Amino acid sequence: MAAWCLVNGTPAQGPERPLGMEGGGNLDPQSVAKMPGEMDKPLISHHLVDSNYSLAEVPSEAPKVGILGSGDFAHSLATRLVGSGFCVLVGSRNPKRTAGLFPAAAQVTSQEEAVACPEVILVAMFREHYSSLCSLRDQLTGKILVDVSNPTEQEHLQYHQSNAEYLASLFPTSTVVKAFNVISAWTMQSGPRDGNRQVPICSNHPEAKHTISLMARSMGFTPVDMGSLASAREVEAMPLRLLPDWKVPALLALGLFVFFYAYNFTRDVLQPYVQENKNKFYKLPVSVVNTSLPCVAFVLLSLVYLPGVLAAALQLQRGTKYRRFPDWLDHWLQHRKQIGLLSFFCAALHVLYSLCLPLRRSHRYDLVNLAVKQVLANNSHLWVEEEVWRMEIYISLGLLAFGTLSLLAVTSLPSIANSLNWKEFSFVQSTLGFVALVLSTLHTLTYGWTRAFEESRYKFYLPPTFTLTLLVPCTIILAKALFFLPCFSRRLSKIRRGWEKDGDVKFTLPASQALAQKTSHV
């Protein structure tokens, strides 16, 4: 049977050939396996491309792939496949109406004609439309059906069977493969540039997985074998996850912000209004927020290094490193990166809010009132040496802490972290991270100065906010100082190198080997 492709909008006829040969043809896994080098790179570099991403020149014979569906993802699939050197046949129920939505090099035809020649059919349809393809069951016998669909969250919870497994139950004589569902339509159309290139693939047939893997590589993606089709449900759940590693850290940061905001509101706004009849509600948008942000950033930074202290204490107490940590500590250790980045985010907002403080109208009124009081008091020179030095040191330590925290955030980026070896990464994240914690502690102590000992600072009998934030970091710094003592540091170093407190292993030979050894000595 002749193979048909479109060259500049006109059909070109040529004989069928297996995929991977110089010409085009059907996807033959055995033929593809013989020519592995042919599909290591996309074929787009061999052709001229128009401004609308359609090929201006396509070879007369190319590997044929069918697509069932005419939606946005089907259009993106067709564009990417055409750009990678495939001959694409799109099956639609209304070919004339949808032909203009696809590249000129893709042939839009009926569903029956689209599945007649290709051995690989991409099913780009919703689950509820799978049953409409049952009339094509005979034509799809022995062919590879690639399910690219994704369920909604409600459908994922409603159906205990994945879309790919449901498709396989409808077409038992076909080979079903789950692939390309984690790639967005934009990435599929424009190509995998800086985004995730990985394409999870699962199927019960290794040869079909190999064929689709070669197709994914030719399109510029990196296939990842996820096993049998039973893994399709897990693969379909991947696009439904919304930042799963950030849920707990984000809730923690939000909870800390709400607590400190309510605490500062009670001290700085509610107390003057109740006891002194002063209206200071204007502080809610900026001042109270700016007072709460550094508290959240400081506590989050402390929570990054607290689990390491707890883990070291557990190892010292157990005398071994081979016992698992409790689940809560293990999850805490895994979320340290996210907690640290949220700490940097709050610190950056604190810096921006602090820079905006002099721009407030209330600040200008305070300066004018202070100047008027100074004139009325006939005081021409107002200078408090202690306050000047305190503020200079306070700001300097804050900038140093923020700069070090910025370095930690930058090295957390995958592109930067991958360029560092383990020792460099450990030095930045561990040593410089602890330096950032110490600088932040000194910054907070300089801000507080002697205010913790002044009775007027305890409004509603509540201590100043900075005293609450100093509890955890000071505990961590003291614990770190203890771990630096030789009696603890040497023992901890031995434990982390594999030493165990009660780990003396006695090797005994079996009775038969011991008897043989004695006989040989005789």
Q: What is the pLDDT of residues 252-310, one digit of tens each?
A: 999 999 999 999 999 999 999 999 999 999 999 999 999 999 999 999 999 999 999 99
Q: Which residue has the tokens 């300089």?
A: 446
Give the residue among 297, 308, 305 at the shortest CA–CA distance from 253.
297
In this predicted structure, the answer to whether residue 6 has a pLDDT above a threshold of 50 is no
Q: Which of 43-47, 118-122, 389-393, 501-505 has the lowest mean pLDDT?
A: 43-47
Query: For residues 404 and 439, is the Cβ–Cβ distance under 8 A?
Result: yes
The DSSP 8-state label assigned to residue 431 in this structure reads I
Q: What is the pLDDT of residues 429-469, one digit of tens each?
A: 999 999 999 999 999 999 999 988 999 899 999 999 999 99
Q: Which residue has the tokens 């107390």?
A: 271
The DSSP 8-state label assigned to residue 47 in this structure reads S
- Residue 150 has a pLDDT of 93
Q: How far apart are CA 265 and CA 283, in angstroms?
A: 9
Chain centroid, CA 397 distance in Å: 32
Q: How far apart are CA 278 and CA 321, in angstroms?
A: 58
Amino acid of residue 106: A
Q: Dihedral sign, CA of 275, 278, 281, 282? A: negative
Q: What is the pLDDT of residues 64-93, one digit of tens each?
A: 999 999 999 999 999 999 999 999 999 999
> For the CA atoms of the chain, what is the radius of gyration?
34
Rounded (10°) CA dihedral 128, 130, 134, 139: 170
Average pLDDT, the chain: 85
Amino acid of residue 45: S
- CA-based angle 252:258:261, to the nearest 5? 135
* Backbone φ and ψ of 321, nearest 5°: -110, 0
Question: How would you classify the pairing of strands 175-178 and 198-203?
Answer: antiparallel
